[in-house]
Every structure is written in C-alpha cells, then in structure tokens.
Amino acid sequence: MPWFRRSLLVVPLAAMLIASGCGGSGGGSSKSSAETWADGVCGSLNTWKSSVTAAGASITGGSMSQDQVTSAVNQVKDATSKLSSDLKGLGRPDTESGQQAQEALTKLSSQLDADVDQINRAVEGASGPTAAVGIATSVGAALSQMSTQVSAALSTLDQADTKGELNDAFQNSDACKQLTGSGS
C-alpha cells in the first residue's frame, strides 16, 4: 500500500479526538532532497497532530468551562497556523513532480489559514453558558474539514508522483514512519 494511502488513515485521528472531546525529524547527509522534503512534510504533520491531540485531551471529562475550551481552541489555532507556515516554507522538492507537490502544499496552507479564520469567527461570536459546547462543535467541524483537506493534498501528491520519487521518499522518511505508525 503506498505511503499516501496509509497516511490517509492516520490523519483523521486528530480530528476525531478533538471532536469527541477527548517532532521533527532527524537527518543525515545521506538523505536525498526528496527525503528531506518528505521529512519536513511529515514532521510538520506529526507536530500538528500531537498539538491537536493534546488540545483534545485537555477538554475531556465531565463539564467543560469556556476558558478550558478557549485554551484548547487557541492551541489548535496556533498548531494549525504553524503547520501552514511550515508547509509553505518547505518549497519545492527536487523531483519531476516537484512543482505539483509544492502547489498542493501551497493550496493546503491556504485552506488551513481559512480554517483558522473560521475557528476565530466561531470563538468571537460565542458567549453565554452554552458557548463552550458551541465552540467545541465548531472546532470539531473545522478539524474534520482540515483532515479532508490534508487527505486531498496527499492524494494530489500521490497522483502527481508518476515516477514514484515522492512515494519512495515518504516511505524512507523516519518522520513519515512515525506519522503512519510503521516506524519507531
């Protein structure tokens, strides 16, 4: 099973955790440019997933206060903004499909920025005793949308990678193995 398809199964985890209330990579000089790029993609996704999971865990339990939810939402927004920035900063991998890969991540970054704006609007308009539940619901929906967007970007990378260069790089990346659970 190509790396891209395995990763499609992993990314929704973070969205499900937060909706239910519930790293970078090391590098060596022997890595190809594409492997370094893949490490950057997966390392950024790992960091985002960890932050979103931690935010979800912080609001588990019985009653949620608006302050707890707001703190978790801020953590999600910060993590998502960082993911967007990190993906934009990766540039183009040195592969035949490098331009398409860069365009896919640029599009994803723009979508993530729009999702953060959507979360901001939900938080700004919330007040009263049921605000925490409303905010959590809105953030859960935004995270589900983000998961779909990440999956679509990975699918685009898979389709653009006609020579398998990126697939090989993702399979060899320690950060990607961590993301898919197939490594240490």
pTM tops 0.75, yes or no: yes
Task: Output 61 or 24, whichever has higher pLDDT.
Answer: 61
Distance CA(183)–CA(162), nearest Å, equals: 25
Output the six-digit token pair for 45: 């996704």
pLDDT classification of 61: cutoffs 50, 70, 90: low
pLDDT value of position 11: 46
When the pLDDT of each residue in the chain is averaged and rounded to a whole number, the result is: 80
Listed range (43-52, 55-64, 113-122, 135-144) with the worst mean pLDDT: 55-64
Distance CA(62)–CA(103), nearest Å, equals: 43
User: Domain residues of the chain, as ranges?
Assistant: 10-180
Of 105, 155, 126, 138, the C-alpha closest to 4 is 155
- Mean pLDDT within 86-98: 93
In total, the chain counts a number of residues equal to 184
Distance CA(22)–CA(143), nearest Å, equals: 13
Model pLDDT for residues 139-171, shown as the tens digit of each residue: 888 888 998 999 999 899 989 988 999 999 999
Pair 166, 97: CB distance under 8 Å: yes
pLDDT value of position 129: 65
